[in-house]
Amino acid sequence: MSNGEKTDMENLPEILTAFEQALELERELGTRTVDCDRALLLPVSIGRARPPDAPLRRVEDAPPYRDDGRARPPDAPSAPANDKPRATSLALPTAEELAACTKCPLATLGRQHVVPGQGNAASPDFMFIGEAPGADEDRQGLAFVGAAGQFLTKMIAAMGYTREQIFIANICKCRPPNNRTPSPQEMEACLPYLRRQIAVIRPKCIVLLGRTAMSGLFPGQRILRGMWYEYEGIPTIATFHPSYIIRFNPLTDAVSLRTAKLEVWNTLKLALAKLGKQPPKK
Ligand code: SF4
């Protein structure tokens, strides 16, 4: 074409690669049959279908972390995970302690329950961290129990774990009104509670869910999805928040949905590999 744009035929290898990756992802998640509308595939341009804030990157190529959070050459040895002594003098923040907290405006903006987080607090393999409770979480006082939480449960199960085997928490322990993003000041006020949780729980690996969790745990730093960082000596990696995945319409956003799911799954496999593990065979 004279305008420099690729034709559909020239895009075909890219489309087929994305399709193959999507099928591989579905297979790894246990899917045995896939409905496919041919009309959806024909006009697809991978670049147009992807949301502008979700660039596709090969996370398998991501170099491991080093202490300052920057990329380390691929052949450099990884730091041993979770080799620091457990902080026995600290205690996990309780719901009662958090309910008395008034350190930020979220204390007075209609919270029903504080949400400390829950799960295995005895050095689990993984700690998942999101941004803040939503309506369901606020109602029940539990982290990730709404629709996004159900998708997180599927992610955890695909890794070979139950929710009880890992720990799930948020940067902020109180729900922001109308599910708005917590402000930097609110996250900064609440961060000491999460820092204490991490110090006591000593997870072997931290998985950050979404951009807000990234900026909440690493304020002022540029954190990239699928790259290794280190938080208090603990290997830390970031991926999409489950709510980002479930907002796609499977009928009209099928390619974007599968591309995002694939990136999440590749990041989770990286996290497993960091601990010398693999997803269970289906
Ligand atoms: S969000 Fe955190 S800092 Fe703010 S009131 Fe709740 S517990 Fe306290």
Mutate to test the pocket of ligand 1, among 96, 101, 183 (most ligand atoms within 8 A of CB): 101
What pLDDT, on a 0 to 100 scale, did the predictor assign at position 90? 86
Pocket (CB within 6 angstroms of ligand 1): 98, 101-104, 106-107, 114, 172-174, 186, 189-190
Strand order in the sheet with 167-170: 118-119, 167-170, 126-130, 205-209, 234-239, 229-231
Which residue's alpha carbon is at the smallest distance from atom 3 of ligand 1? 190
Exposed/middle/buried for residue 132 (C-beta within 10 Å: 0-12, 13-18, 19+): buried
What pLDDT, on a 0 to 100 scale, did the predictor assign at position 210? 98
Q: Closest by alpha carbon to 134, among 101, 93, 182?
A: 182
CA 106 / ligand 1 centre spacing (Å): 6
Which residue's alpha carbon is at the smallest distance from atom 5 of ligand 1? 107
- What pLDDT tens digit does each residue of the chain (282 aa) get? 445 566 666 666 665 655 565 555 555 554 545 555 544 444 433 333 334 343 333 333 333 333 333 333 333 333 344 555 455 578 999 999 999 999 999 999 999 999 999 999 999 999 999 999 999 999 999 999 999 999 999 999 999 999 999 999 999 999 999 999 999 999 999 999 999 999 999 999 999 999 999 999 999 999 999 999 999 999 999 999 999 999 999 999 999 999 999 999 999 999 999 999 999 987
Which residue's alpha carbon is at the smallest distance from atom 4 of ligand 1? 104
Structure tokens at 98: 């958090």
What pLDDT, on a 0 to 100 scale, did the predictor assign at position 282? 75
Which atom, in ligand 1's list, is nearest to the CA of 182? 1
What are the structural domain ranges in the chain?
Answer: 93-274
What pLDDT, on a 0 to 100 scale, did the predictor assign at position 14? 60
Please report, as a single letter, which amino acid is at residue 254: A
CATH number 3.40.470.10 is the correct assignment for the domain at 93-274: yes
Which atom, in ligand 1's list, is nearest to the CA of 111? 6
